[in-house]
Amino acid sequence: MKTDARTVCELRDVTYVYPSGASGRAALSGVSLEVREGEWLALLGSNGSGKSTLARHLNALLIPTQGDCIVYGMSTRDPANVFAVRSAVSMVFQNPENQIVGTVVDEDAAFGPENQGLPPAEIESRVERALEAAGLLAKRAKPTYTLSGGEKQRLAVAGALAMDAPCLVLDEPTAMLDPRGRADLLAIMRALHDGGKTIVHITHRLEEILWCDRAVVLAGGRIEWEGGVEPLLRQDGALRKWGLDAPPLVALWRELGEETGLALPRIPTLEGMIDALCPLQ
């Protein structure tokens, strides 16, 4: 991660209260956060921690009750900026079923660029590139209801990519997928990150953040922790307090590291752990 990287999105002391919320409790209170260009940022938190609310600010779906959200220098508060903000930051939601508009795969991927008012040839080439990146080019003429859950979510990613936004916000994109679909989607996200996209990845699964550059933990609408992935994974007690459970591999990595002082990888990926532990036999 470059330290001099440009800021993509910036939340300045954002507080958000849902207008229909009977409790009047703030879903976000005093949140300040910067998303830097080209980084893969993990946004963690248990249910109700405010992570989805935060994500929706980045795309101007929600406007802060107090404070400001600046995307590429544009305040989301100004209605004149909303279109440009949404063209710069695209979103993928949790339920793939509820974000597909088209009846045919490529028609759905074209929905975003069509709304952007692009010429037909440009839409066609963007849709092709996006479907290629999402591994769906072979299915471009298939009706959307014939896709599996994982394929539908990849189509949602393709729809977001076709808008050619430099920043992609994914709100628990793997929550409704099977392990295979999850692995496929994470592989696509890694490829996009390598290709220079800025990615904000919202999740509560620690095994999904291993390749992220930076992690932010939300709890009760406040930022509780911000830093690298490795130090976060070492916070055993705090993780539990935030409702984030370490997967077995991460627990093993932490315990072994603390107890034995073995030379373990910096980040407990499966491959890294196998490389470190197998020679010990």
Partner 1 sequence: MKFLNNLTFGQYVPADSPVHSLDPRCKILAVPVVLTGIFMAGHVAAFAAWAGLLAALAWYSRLPFRLVLNSAKPVLILVAFTALIHIFFTDGTPILKLGFVTITREGVAAAAQMGLRLLLLVLFASFLTLTTKPMELSDGLERLFSPLVRFGFPAHELAMMMTIALRFIPTLLTETDRIMKAQLARGASFDRGSLWKRLKAFIPVLIPLFVIVFQRAEELATAMEARCYRGGEGRTRMRPLRWSGRDTAALAATVAVVVALAAGERSLLP
Residues contributing to the site for partner 1 (CB under 8 A) = 59, 61, 83, 86-87, 90-91, 93, 95, 97-104, 106-107, 110-120, 123-124, 127, 143-145, 156, 159-160, 163
The residues near 54 (Cβ < 8 Å, ≥ 6 apart) are 11, 14, 28, 31, 33, 43, 202, 218
Angle of the 120-133 helix axis to the 149-161 helix axis, nearest 10 = 140
Strand, coil or helix: 221: coil
- Pick the closer one to partner 1 by CB: 19 or 117: 117
CB of 4 to partner 1, least distance (A): 30
- With CA atoms as reference, report the closest residue to 77 among 87, 86, 65, 89: 65
CB of 179 to partner 1, least distance (A): 22
Angle of the 248-260 helix axis to the 270-277 helix axis, nearest 10 = 40
CB of 99 to partner 1, least distance (A): 4
CB of 124 to partner 1, least distance (A): 6
- Pick the closer one to partner 1 by CB: 47 or 260: 47
- Pick the closer one to partner 1 by CB: 112 or 268: 112
- Pick the closer one to partner 1 by CB: 165 or 210: 165
